[in-house]
Amino acid sequence: MEEKTRVSGAEALLLSLIREKVDTIFGYPGGAIMPMYDKMYDKHDLLNHILVRHEQGAAHAAQAYAQVTGKPGVCFATSGPGATNLMTGITNANLDSIPVVFITAQVPSGLLGTDAFQETDMISLSMPVTKWNYQITSAEKIPEAVAKAFYFAKSGRPGPVLLDITKDAQIQEFDFHYKRIKSIRSYNPKPTLDKNQVQQALDMMSQSKKPLLLAGHGILIANARDELMEFVDKTKIPTAVTLLGKSVIDEEHPCFVGMLGMHGNYAPNKLTNEADLIIAAGMRFDDRVTGDISRYAPNAKIIHVDIDKAELNKNVKADLAIHADIKDFLQQIVPAQYYTCNSEWRQEFKRLNEMEKEKVIAPELYPENGHLRAGEVISKVSQLTKREAIVVTDVGQNQMMAARYYGFKNPNTLITSGGLGTMGFGLPAAVGAQVGKPDKTVVLFTGDGGFQMTAQELGTVVQYQLPVKIIIFNNNFLGMVRQWQNLFNDKRYAQTTMPTPDFPMMAKSFGIESKWVRERDQLDNTIEEMFSHEGPYLLEVSIEKEANVFPMIYPGKAVDEIVLHEDQ
């Protein structure tokens, strides 16, 4: 039996985190959380605390850390504004199914409900956007609550959890002992695969002449990439990915046919409505993927596999809804199936992808004149890093361009805000990714608008000497909003033009090497200089002001109405 040790609630929290193998915390101190920070002073050899410049930054950094390490992120904030500043990050992690344990401090339990200084009801606020939350008012409840928090965050469909700990609970002393949780009554995070459904899926595949595999983020979460590749190699089924599914398959694989969705590739969107069978693996039929859902995949039977039962038949009615861990499903179906997709169907994707290369990709990557294009910059970075970097993006045109043109090879190498579309996500997420993978090259592609939302995290980059390579695409516009104003509001650019500061000078004020590129002939040497520099580096690139991201599925249109350019 484990020996009990008498400690305060604050120390019990830290000991509990250590028992859960936590070694890194992102956070920001304040009044109500001071007991925990005081105890952390004695645990600096076991717990690495990253002091961000704003709590939202801590939330995004913890999410990115979780994504690149495969371990839950941990984030601390004090009561009141410190806690509420986490809300965007919590919501972001919830929509993207990322396990993060958020710990907020609260006023003393005796003052709850009195509108005390910096009192905020974080339980009510966070309930809709967390997998589980719990307020702790007694120190002795801390170990069990922490154990539950990690179990809920990691198991089943992962997600954020929140513990709100009153100040008196941090100070009280009790006899500490810790027991990790392996199950919770009435909570079944790992459904049992119905093997009859595997046979049904095989039967449906055997009758298909035009199958299409849609691979989502669930593949990465389930660590099922190897199984997916066995399935793809064996069946030769054309494989498309969602935005968060990027990196589930090497994009040079012959069966990879592109990205789905509003700014995805031409072929997989166009041919979704010709497919006679769709196998949706670990994805949730987001509206950005389906377009007009009433006209989505009218000719296809649909097999949908997901670990979250709530996603099945939610947006798209499945002919075969399989409630299972995608890894289990793939492990069962790969040895059993003998289906091979016909080459004529695969050629259809190739033909349409060639059309996209000619009309969209080549002009973006190899412009003969005019201003620099984001795509050509990203392509050069891809070549120089040999597609091995961890790519972090902000949200907007920079995000779509990075997803389209980097050419992902390795799993979990695109860190981006998917469901929530959070501008300002990029820089703090790059911090978290670099902390999680200090030996990897981390590249941030961001826009001039999103960068300014969380630019203060340059201070964090410098404090911990994180060698993040930051590339700001500056068009002095909120680019994606301007694109919609261009296409749908007769170029009435309402509040989307944006003068920007001298970004390289800003970086230098933090002690970060930087440069500003305006001309094409400056680009190659400067990118090489950036990656040969050992520390952090900021590169501002002036790009074509009114360039649009294409292809595009216009709002309200069906996926096969995707257009290659605005005149189509």
Nearest to 398 by CA among 419, 373, 420, 381: 373
Distance CA 530, CA 513 (A): 9
Sequence-ordered list of residues with C-beta below 8 angstroms from that of 474, at least 6 positions apart, any chain:
447, 448, 500, 503, 540, 541, 542, 543
437: Cα within 13 Å, side-chain hemisphere: 24
b/e map 385-403, b = 16+ CB within 10 Å: bebebbbbbbbbbbbbbbb
Measured CA distances, 105 to 30, 159, 167, 176, 235 (Å): 9, 20, 7, 20, 52
Within 10 angstroms of residue 313's Cβ, the number of other Cβ atoms is 13
Distance CA 27, CA 33 (A): 11
**What is the helix (H) or strand (E) element at residue 523, kind and residue range?**
helix 523-532
Distance CA 285, CA 302 (A): 11
b/e map 336-366, b = 16+ CB within 10 Å: ebebebeeebbebbeebbeebeebbbebbbe
The whole-angstrom distance between residue 410's C-alpha and the CA centroid of its chain comes to 15
Q: Which residues are catalytic?
A: 55, 117-118, 167, 480
Tokens of 536: 């952090």
Distance CA 96, CA 98 (A): 6
Output DSSP code: residue 177. -
Name the amino acid, one letter, at 324.
A
Strands annotated E in 481-536 = 513-517
For Cα atoms 115, 118, 120, give the angle at the middle one, nearest 5 degrees: 65
Distance CA 393, CA 567 (A): 29
Phi and psi at residue 473, to the nearest 5°: -85, 110
DSSP bridge partners of 166? 106
Scanning 386-522, the segments in alpha helix (DSSP H) are 397-405, 426-436, 448-453, 458-463, 479-488, 503-510
Sequence-ordered list of residues with C-beta below 8 angstroms from that of 310, at least 6 positions apart, any chain:
none
Distance CA 164, CA 398 (A): 36
Distance CA 494, CA 410 (A): 40
